[in-house]
A and B are shown apart, each in its own frame.
Chain A
C-alpha cells in the first residue's frame, strides 16, 4: 500500500513532511518522535489510517481506536498542564504577596500592596477595590481608600500602562504608593466620605458581612433585599464582592471589589481566591496599625524621657545656682564688710593727710583698689540675683523712657545725644522689669573702647510677630565684631573685670529669661544691640 504520510520512512528530508519546519531538523532521523509529535495530528496520516481501516486488515479498527484514545489523552494532558501553569502562577503570586505583607509594618505600604493585588491583572484582576477601615473610637466602618479607574478611557490608559511596565507586585505597589496613592484617595473622596456605617447597624449589608466573617457576592444589587439602594447607587454597580477583614475576632475592615468597567462575571473561584487573600491582609493591616500606634507611643515616651531628662538637668542646674546664690550671699557678708572697713578707713585717713605727704599715694591706692573690688563684688552679686527672675507684663516704651531718663546724666557727661522712636500700640511684654531695666541702663551707659564719629544713641521699639524688639543703635562706638563677641561672653578669660563685664552680665541675665540679646558691630554705623522681648507667657 502506498502511504500519503511519511510515517513508514526511517529518515525523511526537509520538505517531505509538511509538518516538519525549520528548527525541527532533529525529527528528520527519529521516526518514533516524528510519529508521536507530528504524524498523529497530520491529515495525511489520518487518511492513511482510514485506508488501513477499510483495507480489511484485522488490526485496522484497533489502530484507529488507539489513535483516537491517544489524541484524547493528549488533549487532557495539555489541559492539565495549562491548569498547573495557572496554579503555579497563582501560588507564585500568593507567595510574593505573602512575603510583602509579612515583611511590612507600614500601613500605607500594606494597603497599597493589598489594593494593587486585587486590581492588578497579574493578581485577582478586579477593576476596582474599596477599602473600608473600622474606626474603633467612633464605632464606625468608614471609607478609607480606593483604587481603580472611574471610566472606560481611564481604565484602558491604566491597563496599557501596566502592560507596558512588566513590574512585580511589590514594585507595582511601591509605584502606586509613590505616584498615585494621594491621587486615588482624592479621586474616590466623594464615595469614600459617604461610606460610613455604624458597627451597631447590623441590618446594613456591610456590617452583616463583617459580623458573618464570610465573603459575600452581591448580584443584582439594585433589587437585592439586603442592599440599601442608595448604597448600590453610590457604588454604581449591580454586582460586587464584599470581603470582610477580620484578624482573630477583631473587625479590621472590609474590601469591596467589583468589575465596574469590564462587567466580567465574578466567579465563585474569584471569591474563594480572594477569601484566602483577606486573612493575611487583615492580619497585616492590624499589625501595621498596631506598629503605628506603638511607634506613636514610643515617640511619646521618648519625648517624655527627653523632657524628664531636661527637667532633671534643670533641677541639677538650679541646685547649683542655689549653691552659687548661697556662696555669693556669703561672699557679700564676708567680703563686703572688711572691704568697706579697709576702704572706709583709707578714705578717712586720706581726708586727714596733707597734699604733700608721701603716704598719700599709698592711701589713694588702697581707696582705688577697694573701690574696684567693690565693683567686682556688685557684678557677682547682680549675676547671682539674675538667676531668679520674676516676670510680669510691662509696658516696653515706658521701660525704655525710664532707662533713658535714668541714664541722661551719664550720657550727657560723655557728650551723647539720645533719641527714642516709640512703637505705637505695642502689647505689654512678659519680662522681669527690674532685670530688663538694669540691662537696658547698662547697655545705654556701657563704656566700651573704640570711638565712632557721632555721639548719638538712637533707640527704637517695634513689634515683630509675637515679640517686641528694642533696637539700640550706638553711633558713638565702633569695635571689631570679634572683640564685641568676646565682651558679650560671661566671665571670658580675655576680658578685664570692669565696666564691660556689665554687657556679659546683661546677656546672661536676659538669656535666663529666654530673651535674646544680639550685638552687632557695623563699620561706619556703630554698634547695634537688639533685644527681643516675648509678649506671651511661655508654656511651662
Chain B
C-alpha cells in the first residue's frame, strides 16, 4: 500500500483528502505545516507528498525545494487554489500540479500517474 503525506494548512481539506485517498487504497498521513511535514518525513518513509503552496505564513515551494534536494526519489504533487503558480519556474520542480477542486478525480489521476512513473523508474533501476 502506497503511503501518502498530505500537507495543507486547512484542517477540513486534510480530512477530505484523507477520506477520499484512503478510499482509493492509500495510507494517508497529514501535516498542517512545513515543520510538521519534515517531522513526519523523518519518522517514516512516504511514496508521495501532496503539497499545498500557500501554507499560512509559509511557502510550500520552499518545502518542495528542500525535498527535491534531499529526497529526490520521492515525488511531490503541488495542489493549490492558485493556477498562476503553474507558470512559476520553482513549481516546475514538482512532478505534478493540480488546481484544487471539489472534484478530486484530477488529483487522484495525477497521484496514480506519478506513482506509476515512479514504479516504472524503480523497475528500470534508475
Contact = CB atoms under 8 A, between A and B. Distances in A.
Contacts of A381: 83-84
A339 B102 contact: yes
B7 to A, nearest CB: 14
In the complex, which of the residues A333, A371, A434 has the most CB atoms of chain B within 10 Å of its own CB atom? A333
A434 B87 CA distance: 10
A344 interface: yes
A499 interface: no
The secondary-structure label for the interface of chain A is helix
Given A344-B20, A345-B16, A348-B20, A336 B81 contact: yes
Contacts of B20: 344, 348
Contacts of B104: 344, 347
Nearest to A345: B16
B100 A340 contact: yes
Interface in B1-55: 10, 12-13, 16, 19-20, 23, 54
B22 to A, nearest CB: 11
A344 B82 contact: no
Contacts of A374: 101-103
Interface in A515-534: none
A128 B90 CA distance: 82
B101 A340 contact: yes
A351 B12 CA distance: 18
Given A333-B54, A337-B10, A348-B19, A343 B101 contact: yes
B24 to A, nearest CB: 11
Interface residues of A, number: 24
A367 interface: yes
Contacts of B84: 329, 381, 385
Contacts of B100: 336-337, 340
B76 to A, nearest CB: 20
A14 interface: no
A378 B99 CA distance: 10
A332 to B, nearest CB: 5
Nearest to A352: B23
A341 B101 contact: no
A346 interface: yes
A345 B13 CA distance: 9
B102 A343 contact: yes
Interface string A308-347: 0000000000000000000001001100110111111111
Contacts of B23: 348, 351
Contacts of B10: 337, 341
Contacts, number: 61
A333 B81 contact: yes
Interface size class of chain B, counting residues whose CB lies under 8 Å from the partner chain: 10 to 19
A443 B100 CA distance: 25
B81 A344 contact: no
A342 B100 CA distance: 12
Contacts of B54: 333
Contacts of A385: 83-84
Given A336-B100, A367-B102, A374-B102, A341 B13 contact: yes
A341 B82 contact: no
A370 B82 contact: no
Contacts of B102: 339-344, 346-347, 367, 370-371, 374
A402 B20 CA distance: 35
A344 B83 contact: no
B109 to A, nearest CB: 15
Nearest to A384: B84
Nearest to B84: A385
Given A370-B102, A371-B103, A341 B83 contact: no
In the complex, which of the residues B20, B100, B102 has the most CB atoms of chain A within 10 Å of its own CB atom? B102
A385 to B, nearest CB: 7
Contact of A341 (B16, B87, B99, B103): B16
Contacts of B103: 343-344, 347, 371, 374
Contacts of A434: 87
Given A346-B102, A370-B102, A371-B103, A337 B81 contact: yes
B67 to A, nearest CB: 23
Contacts of A332: 81-83
Interface in A348-404: 348, 351, 367, 370-371, 374, 378, 381, 385
A329 B82 CA distance: 7
Contacts of B19: 348
Contacts of B101: 336, 340, 343, 374
Nearest to B100: A340
Contacts of A333: 54, 81-82
Interface in B72-126: 81-84, 87, 99-104
Given A341-B102, A343-B103, 14 more contacts: A332-B82, A333-B81, A336-B100, A339-B102, A340-B13, A340-B81, A340-B100, A341-B12, A341-B13, A347-B104, A348-B19, A348-B20, A370-B102, A378-B83
18 contacts: A332-B83, A333-B82, A337-B10, A337-B81, A340-B16, A340-B81, A340-B100, A341-B13, A341-B16, A344-B16, A344-B20, A345-B16, A347-B102, A347-B104, A348-B20, A351-B23, A371-B103, A374-B101
Q: Which 7 A/B pairs are nearest by Cβ-Cβ distance?
A: A343-B102, A336-B81, A344-B16, A341-B12, A340-B102, A344-B102, A340-B100
Interface of B: 10, 12-13, 16, 19-20, 23, 54, 81-84, 87, 99-104
Interface of A: 329, 332-333, 336-337, 339-348, 351, 367, 370-371, 374, 378, 381, 385, 434
